[in-house]
Amino acid sequence: MNIYKAILLTLIGGLTFTVSWPTYGFFPLIFLALIPFFYVNEFYNGKYIFLVFFTGFLTWNLTTTYWLTYATVFGYFFACVVNSLMMTVVFYLFRKVKIKTNEKLGYIFFTTLWICYEKLHLVWDFSWPWLIFGNVFSENTWIIQWYEYTGVFGGTLWVLIINIILFKIYFNHKKNNQSRILVYALLSILIIPTIISVITYKNFEENGEVKNISIVQPNIDPYSEKYSITNNDNLDYLKKIVDINRIKNSLILLPETFFSEGVQINSYYYNDLSKNIFDLNSKYNNVILSGIELYEILYDSTLIKQYSNKIRDNRWLNIYNSAIYFSDTTNFYHKSKLVVGVEKMPYRKILEPILGQVLLDFGGSTQTRGFQEKRSVFKSQNYNISPIICYESIYGEYLTDYIKNGGKALAIITNDAWWGNTEGHRQHFSYAKLRAVETRKNILRSANTGISGIISSRGDEIIRTNYNEESIISANYKENDIVTIYVQFGDYIYRISLFILIIICSYYFSLIIKGKK
């Protein structure tokens, strides 16, 4: 096979990933997308194999996450190049191990390494888990109801195994070999999980205590308006919509950084904002969960954190993208999965001395945000809500800590207007359906603009808004005490994969050492 045919095949594979991806894609194509890469791995022996694989994966990344350019062109290319390089390294190592060991171990190595690569994107400082294979089913949750047992890595494993078997069937056909056992295995692995999921979906009953909620989508342009509006302006807006819509005896959900004018934490209780909101709640018997920008100034160097920003001699500033809960008392939660390059400097101790403070300006402050170690649950007499801020909703195992801490519903507050009317905000909303299935919790979502709405515990949209419109949703949702297998054990598929991967790597290096002897 010449290099031109090899590149063409990986381009086809990359575009197959693209047209399978939500929210516009036809998801069954994901089961074919890796086959061109496997074919090239088998039949192309040129010295540019790394470039060939990279071309295909870069095509997928560029065409699927193009919407990042609306926020940052540099961030778009950086994310696409780094992610494509990581995918290429997985395939390149698979090729090496398969040649040195045998075919079966090679494919097991590839499967476990790919899962470990996806897990890395959930935990390291350059985290970018948007293209995890298991996310591809977010618009079709009827087929992955078993995510309550496996999480998205169950979907990734499903995709990998079916691609491998389909390629082996094709390869055997090309070599005139029998594939009867493989065909039976394929049908079983494809059909059995689907049947189980469909039965679960059809018989699923939404349980829990019914609660009232009003979800607000203000529809404010984050580039030109949001950060020039004062907290008092937003408070007046809130009072107006409560009065006009006669919202009472309800949870009111407001989007990320709704109160975007910074409020100092240690003087918060002396702030007029706090008093006015408590008065508003008392008048209508409501509780409010809102995004807010908080900060604190430190004068003692022994109190500084790894995220503290030095502003001058003996003064440090901690800034938080937070959620605030106004009920009988006030509770805070600080966003802790921060957006790379916007809210935090990755590997700050290493890079900041070299590059300086180079965070991208998306409005507000361009300094590093703070975070907290544990997940908070907002509890009051009538409500039990887990506050999730924007990007955090992509992290499945991360969200299970809310449930372990007693959360009965998941509230996502976000600002998706950065990406314009593109797949960005639609995919972000869609991925929340996976969290609903994994945790069997209702999802309550308030976006500044984007998509606000409610998602049921089986991953169905109950109600939603449109992009670029001001909306108020008054509806009901349910809180429940369900603790799924996935909530209890998290990403155990990754942990099993890592164990198997270590064994195969040990065997591979032992063969290399023996060869040298």
Please write the tens of the pLDDT for every residue from 334-344. 999 998 878 88
Question: Which pLDDT score, from 0 to 100, does residue 418 have?
Answer: 82
Please write the tens of the pLDDT for every residue from 174-221. 777 778 899 999 999 999 999 999 999 999 999 999 999 999 999 988
Mean pLDDT throughout 234-244? Answer: 94
CB of 446 within 8 A of CB of 217? yes
Q: Is the pLDDT of residue 517 over 90?
A: no
Question: Which pLDDT score, from 0 to 100, does residue 72 have?
Answer: 84
Question: Which pLDDT score, from 0 to 100, does residue 363 have?
Answer: 46
Ranges of H-type helices in 1-72: 3-20, 35-43, 49-64
311 compared with 182, residue with greater pLDDT: 182
Question: Which pLDDT score, from 0 to 100, does residue 344 have?
Answer: 80
360 compared with 349, residue with greater pLDDT: 349
Instruction: Kindly report whether the peptide bond that precedes residue 156 is cis, defined as omega within 30 degrees of 0.
Output: no
Please write the tens of the pLDDT for every residue from 247-280. 999 999 999 999 988 899 888 777 888 889 999 9
Mean pLDDT throughout 447-476? Answer: 94
Range 209-294+323-338+373-481 classified under CATH 3.60.110.10: yes
Q: Which H helix or E strand runs over 217?
A: strand 209-217
* 32-41 per-residue burial string, b: 16 or more CB within 10 A, e: under 16: bbbbbbbbbb
CB of 399 within 8 A of CB of 435? yes
Question: Which pLDDT score, from 0 to 100, does residue 360 have?
Answer: 47
Question: Which pLDDT score, from 0 to 100, does residue 356 have?
Answer: 62
Q: How many Cα atoms occupy the beta-carbon half-sphere of 367 within 13 Å? A: 17
Q: What percent of the chain has pLDDT over 70?
A: 96
| pLDDT confidence band for 286 (50 / 70 / 90) | very high
Ordered by start, the domain boundaries in the chain are: 3-204+491-516, 209-294+323-338+373-481
Mean pLDDT throughout 311-335? Answer: 91
> DSSP letters of 330-351?
EEEEE--SPPBTTTB-TTHHHH
Ranges of H-type helices in 299-389: 348-355
CA distance 400 to 438: 9
Q: Is the pLDDT of residue 316 over 50?
A: yes
Question: Which pLDDT score, from 0 to 100, does residue 343 have?
Answer: 82
Question: Which pLDDT score, from 0 to 100, does residue 395 have?
Answer: 96
Structure tokens at 352: 């900041």
382-to-251, 288, 398, 474 alpha-carbon distances in Å: 9, 12, 25, 17
Mean pLDDT throughout 496-510? Answer: 96
104 compared with 517, residue with greater pLDDT: 104
Question: Which pLDDT score, from 0 to 100, does residue 516 have?
Answer: 62
156 compared with 309, residue with greater pLDDT: 156
Please write the tens of the pLDDT for every residue from 396-433. 999 999 999 999 999 999 998 888 899 999 999 999 99
Strands 443-447 and 453-455: antiparallel
CB of 413 within 8 A of CB of 254? yes
Ranges of H-type helices in 360-491: 396-404, 423-439, 485-489
Q: Is the pLDDT of residue 359 over 70?
A: no
> DSSP letters of 158-190?
HHHHHHHHHHHHHHHHHTT---HHHHHHHHHHH
Question: Which pLDDT score, from 0 to 100, does residue 137 have?
Answer: 98
Q: Is the pLDDT of residue 361 over 80?
A: no
- What lies within 8 Å, CB to CB, of 12 at 6+ separation is 36, 56
Please write the tens of the pLDDT for every residue from 76-94. 999 999 999 999 999 999 9
Lowest mean pLDDT among 113-117, 336-340, 437-441, 461-465: 336-340
* Residue 476 Cα to chain centre, angstroms: 26
The length of the chain is 517
